[in-house]
Amino acid sequence: LSIIDALSNIEPKNHGDVNLAVRIGIATGLVVVGEMIGNGAAEEMTVVGETPNIAARLQAQAKPNAIVIGPATHKLVEEQFRFEDLGALEVKGVAEPIPAWQVVGLAEAAEERYGLPLIGRDEELGLLSRRLIQTKERLGQVVLISGEAGIGKSALAETMRAEVRNEGMAENAFYCSPYHTNTALYPIIEKIKQLSQWQAGDSSYTKLAKLEQMLSNYSWAPEDVVPLFAALVSLPLPEGRYPPLNLTPQEQKQRTLDTLVAWTLEEVKRGPVFELWEDLHWADPTTLELLGLLIDQAATASVLMVLTFRPEFVPPWPTRSHMTPTTLSRLEGCLLYTSP
């Protein structure tokens, strides 16, 4: 998806109406890796087996700027992405048709994964519910949830998020990634792309139009925020469309952070807001800096911030009266049976 995204932002020069595109096919399975072939930059190891053949055939079936994957790959990543089912494709060299899917985009993390009732966390849910009541009374709250991997931090947060959603309250979720610990404001960047409804293969002009449409829902002047958000998501702006920022890197960073804080406060003007920030142990330093600014503002705003992280993460912010740390302990002797 990042390859398609990057390619769509390249505008070939001196080639008329040339449009660059890529077709991607992905298959998963066993291969045999052999000796080196080729020379120089073309040198590579031979890869033999059915899997690379299937990948090549899937790639041939892909439309421009599309990704087609096989069943083994789909099984591995079905919760992380959204797909269009292509049915079973006839693949040369393979006896039976192969089920295939086109990757449409990233799935919203943890969406609808916690449909079963949460067992044994009544105390923690009660704490979050009490903090939610305070938030509605304009006493903003920040709850820090610490716990080992797999202990149920996300399940707890998503259960609370579902409760908030059922009440019709505004909610936003931000997810840190182990692959983007050095990408400044990565959770915000992904949220902007999601809210702007960018799709793989969108041109830079289409992305800009969608970004402008998303930002038009707020009271900002476009010339004040579109260049900042475009720079944040690495979206080139047509020459002359907006005045240049003319800011030093530090000034641009500070203005971006101030604008992102103002974004949350503008949401709060419309009603109470629930914000979930997941996996802060993978957060980049600039995201943590932004969170510090948001935490300072939360005390006097109708916002409930829930922050989850593993025990090795040490929150860098001073303790505030509106901050509630909680550590999830393991549930002992609890066995849950579910029917098919």
CA 315 – CA 145 distance, rounded (Å): 11
How many Cβ atoms sit within 10 Å of the Cβ of residue 130? 12
Q: What is the pLDDT of residue 334?
A: 42
Crossing angle of helices 222-232 and 186-195, rounded to 10°:
120
How many Cβ atoms sit within 10 Å of the Cβ of residue 254? 13
pTM for the model stands at: 0.72
Q: What is the pLDDT of residue 340?
A: 35
Q: Would strands 170-175 and 273-278 be described as parallel, antiparallel, or unpaired?
A: parallel
For residues 305 and 275, the answer to whether their CB atoms sit within 8 Å is yes
Over residues 62-83, mean pLDDT = 91
For residues 9 and 208, the answer to whether their CB atoms sit within 8 Å is no
For residues 52 and 95, the answer to whether their CB atoms sit within 8 Å is no
Quick one: DSSP state of residue 14?
S
Residue 338's pLDDT band (cuts 50, 70, 90): very low
How many Cβ atoms sit within 10 Å of the Cβ of residue 53? 16
Give the pLDDT confidence of 289-311 residue by residue, as tens digits.
999 999 999 988 899 999 999 99
| Beta-ladder partners of 25 | 68
Helix (H) / strand (E) containing 147: none
Over residues 165-194, mean pLDDT = 91
Query: Alpha helix locations (H) across 115-152?
Result: 122-136
Give the pLDDT confidence of 83-95 residue by residue, as tens digits.
999 999 887 777 7
Q: What is the pLDDT of residue 12?
A: 66
Helix (H) / strand (E) containing 57: helix 50-61
Over residues 19-42, mean pLDDT = 83
Instruction: Please identify which residue in the block is written with the tokens 């916002």.
Output: 303
Residue 113's pLDDT band (cuts 50, 70, 90): very low
Q: Would strands 44-48 and 32-37 be described as parallel, antiparallel, or unpaired?
A: antiparallel
CA 11 – CA 315 distance, rounded (Å): 43
Classify residue 306 as exposed, middle or buried by CB count within 10 Å of its CB (0-12, 13-18, 19+).
buried
Nearest to 302 by CA among 170, 84, 140, 120: 140
What percent of the chain is helix, strand and coil (3-state, nearest 5)? Answer: 40, 20, 40
Q: Is 317 helix (H, G, I), strand (E, B) or coil?
A: coil
Classify residue 185 as exposed, middle or buried by CB count within 10 Å of its CB (0-12, 13-18, 19+).
buried
For residues 273 and 302, the answer to whether their CB atoms sit within 8 Å is yes
